[in-house]
Structure 1
Amino acid sequence: MDSYTFANEVDKHVGQRIRSRRESLKISQGRLGRQLGVTFSQIQKYEKGSNRVGAGRLYQIAMFLGVTPNYFFEGLEGEQGIEPQNSSTPSSVSPEELKALTDAFSNVDDKDTRASVVALVRSLMGEIEKRSL
C-alpha cells in the first residue's frame, strides 16, 4: 500500500471513529460543528474521510467528545501491522460515567466555568501522578 492510499485509509478510519463517538453521545453534526466553529457539512466531510482533520481540530473534537486524540486511531493497523497499545480512557471509567460527565460539561454555558472544571481535573490528574511516583 503506498503512503497516499494509507493516509486516505487513516482519514476514513478517523472519520468513522468521530462519527461513532458523536452518535454514541447523541450529538448532532450541527452541534459538533457549532462547537468547533465549522458547518455541519464540514463535519460530514471529516466523518467520510474526504477532508483530513488537522491535529488541532482533532484535539478540539476529542475534548468535546470526552476522549483523548488516541481514541480516533484505535483499531487502526499501521503499515507494519503494529496496533496502538494505549486505551483512550482508564479502564475504571465506564462509558456511562463518561457520557454523563460529557453531557454535564457540554451543558455548562459559561466559558470560564468550563475552564475552571478542566483546570480542576488536570490538577487532580497531577496529584494522582505524584502519588504513583
Structure 2
Amino acid sequence: MDRERLIERKIGERLRRRRIELGLTQEQVGRIVGVSYQQIQKFERGANRVSAARLVLMAERLRTDIHWLCGITDFHPVTAGPPHSSGAETPDPHQAFAQIGDPAVRVALGGLVRAVVERHSASQPG
C-alpha cells in the first residue's frame, strides 16, 4: 500500500476514534464539519481524501490536535468540553502552540515560558 493511502487510513482511524471519544454519530460530525454523514463514512474508511482546509476544520471543531489527527504524533491532548461548530472559541494552548509553523518562533516561545516558570519558582518561599 502506498504512503498516501496509509496516511488517509490513519486520518480516518483517528477521525473515527475522536468521534467515538466525543460520543457523536457520523451524522453529528458531518453537521459539525459541514459535510454529509456519507462523507464522514468515506473519510473514516480512508475511501475519500480529506482536503487540508477540511482537516484543519475537523481538528478545530472536534477539539483535537491536527498533528494527532494526521497520525504525525501519538500525543493526543484531548480538550474538555463538547465540540464546537465555529472557530470563534479560544483554542487549547497545546493546539495553538502546535499550529505555529515557524520552528524558531516555537523555540523562542518555549524559552519564554521556561524563563517565566524559573522566575516564578525563584520568587516562591523555599
Question: Under a length normalisation based on structure 1, what TM-score does the superposition of the two structures give?
Answer: 0.61
Tell me what 2:32 maps to.
Answer: 35
Tell me what 2:121 maps to.
Answer: none
Structure 1 gap ranges (5+)? 75-83, 90-94
Give, in angstroms, the shift of residue 52 of structure 1: 0.5
Q: Which AA in structure 2 matches 1:118?
A: T
Residues 1-133 of structure 1: pairs in structure 2 closer than 5 A? 5-74=2-71, 84=72, 87-89=75-77, 98=79, 101-103=80-82, 106=84, 115=88, 117-118=89-90, 129=109, 130-133=112-115
Q: Structure 1 residues 38 and 85, CA, compared in 2 at 3 Å: closer, same or farther?
A: closer
Structure whose CA Rg is larger = 2
Q: Which 4+ residue blocks in structure 1 deviate beyond 6 angstroms?
A: none
Give, in angstroms, the shift of residue 85 of structure 1: 5.5
Structure 2 gap ranges (5+)? 98-108, 116-126
**Two-structure CA RMSD over aligned residues (Å):** 2.7
Q: How many residue pairs align between the two structures?
A: 100
CA offsets, 1:35-93, max 9 Å, x none? 1221000000000000011111111111122111101233xxxxxxxxx557232xxxx
Aligned partners of 1:30 and 1:86: how far apart in 2? 26
Query: Would the aligned equivalents of 1:65 and 1:102 in 2 still touch at CA under 8 Å?
Result: no
Q: Structure 1 residues 16 and 86, CA, compared in 2 at 3 Å: closer, same or farther?
A: closer
Aligned partners of 1:66 and 1:6: how far apart in 2? 26
